[in-house]
Amino acid sequence: MNKLYIGNVSAEATEEDFETLFEQWKIPHSGPFLIKNGYAFVDCPDEKAAMRAIDILSGKAELHGKVLEVEHSVPKRLRSCKLQIRNIPPHMQWEVLDGMLAQYGAVESCEQDFTETDVSFIVFRAMEKLNGSMMENYALKVSYIPDETAAPEGPSVGGRRGFNTRGPPRSGSPSLGARPKTQSEVPLRLLVPTQFVGAIIGKEGATIRNITKQTHSKIDIHRKENAGAAEKPITIHSTPEGCSNACRTIMEIMQKEALDTKFTEEIPLKILAHNNFVGRLIGKEGRNLKKIEVDTGTKITISPLQDLTMYNPERTVTVKGTLDACAKAEEEMMKKLRESYDSDMAAMNLQSNLIPGLNLNALGLFPSGAPGMGPSMSSLPPPGAHGGCSSFGVSVYTQQGHPESETVHLFIPALAVGAIIGKQGQHIKQLSHFAGASIKIAPAEGMDAKQRMVIIIGPPEAQFKAQCRIFGKLKEENFFGPKEEVKLEAHIKVPSCAAGRVIGKGGKTVNELQNLTCAEVVVPRDQTPDENDQVIVKISGHFFACQLAQRKIQEILAQVRRQQQPKPAPGAQPPLPRRK
């Protein structure tokens, strides 16, 4: 996009004036200057020249007593309400920028984008007047971001580049180091009968546009999913209040359509909830769900685990009752689901700093598309396609280039075995398929055994996924208290000759390992090596601590293996293939 818009142009300005100005600053242009009443256009030969003109002239160059405003020219059909602000002082706090933006209009939302050279913000509904303004000796650079999906929202105010503001100014100003927190991370997902989809959309989309506008939400009706299915999913992105208002409106439309078409069957509210959060929605012995039923006067049922697949990790929560009762139940349930999501993400963000560069999105903890509640997991990368494991340490590869398989013995409460296996073994089969690992439960060592051993065999990434899901399952099923961290013990076997390397001189290595990972690492000294001349290393701690300890120990073992490989003699050459 190399066409420039030049604003705040004096009525006295001529084409020759602009020619002289661009020549003075050695800015090339590939066409004549098109001068209008108060503004002008010009084409640049490439993006580099366009950006040079914006950087040099906008807010700085003066022509006939007016300071010019230069930016990319955006066609009307592509204009959005998004602005990018660059050249922000690196140490600047969000409160300062927030106060500055408030002078020009309400900021609807803000996203922080770290790049190699800039700290950028995408600001919605802010005014263009910020361009060139000074902040602590930094000249802010503001430009519009084209958005082909942006729909026109009526006439603008304040001239060519003004926009109507929507909603009250945003409150709450977190520091620059974090994105301003919103409560719209978890969208509301509904299932509606296919015969009502047309009524929800309305003639030429008028109804759905009206719902979107009134509730300040983004609504996706997935009509093409599950062709021929009796129900279609709907995803609503908004604040909790916006999601609830949109949900109520959709229920009202379905009730009205049912009356008009003489549809006599009951139309329950159906919410799709990711299985990772359903255990906490239900609560221990079903207490959470029972309380919601009593408080709202509804009947709530949840689809069985057997309905889950790798590509459908959501369970259907069916709510029956009056429209008001269902709407109230939706608010209470989504509040619990959002709390679960926030809790999980906070815990993961807190611990992930132990493993720099960890790609949380690729772990399958939440499906792709929308955090926490997306429709599928089909876009998960294949094993080895992301950097999640390489950031823990060194992975060992076979001659074919595949990560070498590892065996880990993970000990879980004996009472949790049923939850891990699932009805008719469905859960452990799905877990094994998802992680790409062999997962088996070893027989109990005695009638009163309080722990059972889970044998996990697979490469590093498979180990990570399998163990992560097992830790999460134990938390979901309330085998640990709501404020209690899940801590398990894992055993890995190492060659007896490498045990000393894991311990280090005077226990130095194992102590450093424990300080680094926050896990307890023990190499019992009185062990007798097994038939494979291996001994056990015991690792105890929370999930990320266990994972980091496992990877660091595997790194030590990889170093030992490399050192044990015979070195070729000086000048020796590999044997030549024998001729036939």
Q: What is the pLDDT of residue 107?
A: 56
- 163 has a pLDDT exceeding 80: no
- 51 has a pLDDT exceeding 80: yes
In whole angstroms, give the CA distance from residue 320 to residue 445: 47
In whole angstroms, give the CA distance from residue 330 to residue 335: 8
Q: Contact at 8 Å (CB) between 176 and 258? A: no
Burial of 323 (0-12, 13-18, 19+ CB in 10 A): middle
> Most confidently modeled of 113-122, 260-269, 394-403?
260-269
- Here the tokens at position 78 are 């592509």
Q: Which residue has the tokens 């009524």?
A: 199
Per-residue pLDDT tens digits for 59-109 = 888 898 888 988 878 665 445 556 677 777 665 555 556 556 655 555 555
End-to-end CA distance of the chain: 64
Burial of 47 (0-12, 13-18, 19+ CB in 10 A): exposed
In whole angstroms, give the CA distance from residue 280 to residue 286: 9
Which is higher by pLDDT, 108 or 135? 135
pTM of the model: 0.43
- Among 414, 419, 416, 418, which residue's Cα sits nearest to residue 446? 414
Give the neighbor-by-neighbor strand order of the sheet with 39-43: 34-35, 39-43, 3-7, 69-72
Residues whose CB is less than 8 angstroms from the CB of residue 521 and which lie 6 or more positions away in sequence, other chains included: 502, 510, 513, 514, 537, 538, 539, 549, 553
- Here the tokens at position 474 are 């134990």
Q: In this predicted structure, which of 24-28, 56-60, 185-189, 223-227 has the lowest mean pLDDT?
A: 223-227
- Among 81, 83, 73, which residue's Cα sits nearest to residue 141? 83
The secondary structure of residue 172, as a DSSP letter, is -
> Most confidently modeled of 147-151, 342-346, 471-475?
471-475
Burial of 517 (0-12, 13-18, 19+ CB in 10 A): buried
Find the Cα–Cα–Cα–Cα dihedral 242, 243, 248, 253, rounded to 10°.
100
Which is higher by pLDDT, 277 or 383? 277
Per-residue pLDDT tens digits for 386-442 = 333 333 344 444 445 556 889 999 999 999 999 899 888 888 998 898 888 999 999
Q: Once rounded to an integer, what is the mean pLDDT over residues 152-167?
A: 37
CB atoms within 10 A of CB 527: 13
- Here the tokens at position 178 are 């974090």
Q: Contact at 8 Å (CB) between 454 and 470? A: yes
Q: What is the pLDDT of residue 544?
A: 81
Per-residue pLDDT tens digits for 357-371 = 444 444 444 434 333
The string over 68-83, giving b where at least 16 C-beta atoms fall within 10 Å of a residue's C-beta and e elsewhere, is bbbbbbbeeeebbbbb
In whole angstroms, give the CA distance from residue 545 to residue 522: 14
The string over 119-150, giving b where at least 16 C-beta atoms fall within 10 Å of a residue's C-beta and e elsewhere, is bbbbbbbbbbbbbbeebeeeebbbbbbeeeee
In whole angstroms, give the CA distance from residue 100 to residue 474: 48
